[in-house]
Amino acid sequence: MTLRPLHLIFCAGLLVTAGCGPLFDIRKAMYDQPKYEPLEVTDFFGDRRSARPLIDGTVAQGHIQLDDHLYLGLEEEDGDFRQAQTYPFPITADDLNRGEEMYNIHCSVCHGKSGHGNGMVVRRGYKEAPSYHRDVLRNAPPGYFIGVINNGFGQMASYSHQIPVEDRWRIVAYIQTLQRSQFANVEDLEAIQVFIEEPITEHSSPEHANEH
């Protein structure tokens, strides 16, 4: 018998299926092992649910948030909760710098770098973001801003998933700094003057005094 191309193809086909057969069986056995499909019915539990409800009070790892001041921006007073008037940790110059950086990344695109509400996204047609320099927001406590960042406000989405909680407070501190910067009074100027002059007179030698 002469070997024809058709025979060769037939033999090659046999080899391939023989080679794959056992392998395929192993995979299938793993696929078919006893298990529940998501939400499959079972007779094992009384409520017939194979997906068991979480035990009361279960908290996902890394998600326990007992500090209402830090996480919710709420303070307890006389058994009642109100928007926090204070910060949960002391705000240093480093915190303000970090707040500025985070504000410029996450908020300035709509609220503008100085907080007047005219960021680039607004200039391109998004709903106008309210100015932080309106009385009602200038007088709002830090906890109010935390609430807005956590929950969103009207057309503004929540930013709690993008911004770690400490950074949210740093942003609020920076916003309050922006507010102050647009609403300084004469006493503030005097205080700033003292602040500027003191380090200069204390630390600079006479030949450097003119450089400032």
C-alpha radius of gyration, the chain, whole number? 32
CB of 105 to ligand HEC, least distance (A): 9
Q: Is 187 left (phi over 0), alpha (psi -120 to 50) or beta?
A: alpha
**Closest chain position to ligand HEC (CB):** 154
For residue 49, the cross-strand partners are 41
The residue (of 57 and 154) whose beta carbon lies closer to ligand HEC is: 154
Identify whether the C-beta of residue 110 lies closer than 8 Å to the C-beta of residue 121.
yes
CB of 86 to ligand HEC, least distance (A): 18
CB-CB neighbours of 194 under 10 Å: 9
> What distance in Å separates the CA atoms of residue 83 and residue 144, rounded to the nearest whole number?
6
CB of 138 to ligand HEC, least distance (A): 11
> What distance in Å separates the CA atoms of residue 192 and residue 40, rounded to the nearest whole number?
69
CB of 74 to ligand HEC, least distance (A): 16
The residue (of 50 and 151) whose beta carbon lies closer to ligand HEC is: 151
The residue (of 75 and 171) whose beta carbon lies closer to ligand HEC is: 171
The residue (of 125 and 199) whose beta carbon lies closer to ligand HEC is: 125
Residues that bind ligand HEC (CB under 6 A): 106-107, 109-111, 121, 126-127, 129-130, 145, 148-149, 153-156, 159, 171
CB of 140 to ligand HEC, least distance (A): 7
The residue (of 49 and 130) whose beta carbon lies closer to ligand HEC is: 130
Structure tokens given for 118: 């005219």
CB of 134 to ligand HEC, least distance (A): 8
Identify whether the C-beta of residue 118 lies closer than 8 Å to the C-beta of residue 112.
yes
> What distance in Å separates the CA atoms of residue 170 and residue 97, rounded to the nearest whole number?
8
Structure tokens given for 194: 């003292």
Q: 3-class DSSP state for residue 8? A: helix
The residue (of 156 and 165) whose beta carbon lies closer to ligand HEC is: 156
Helix (H) or strand (E) holding 76: strand 74-77
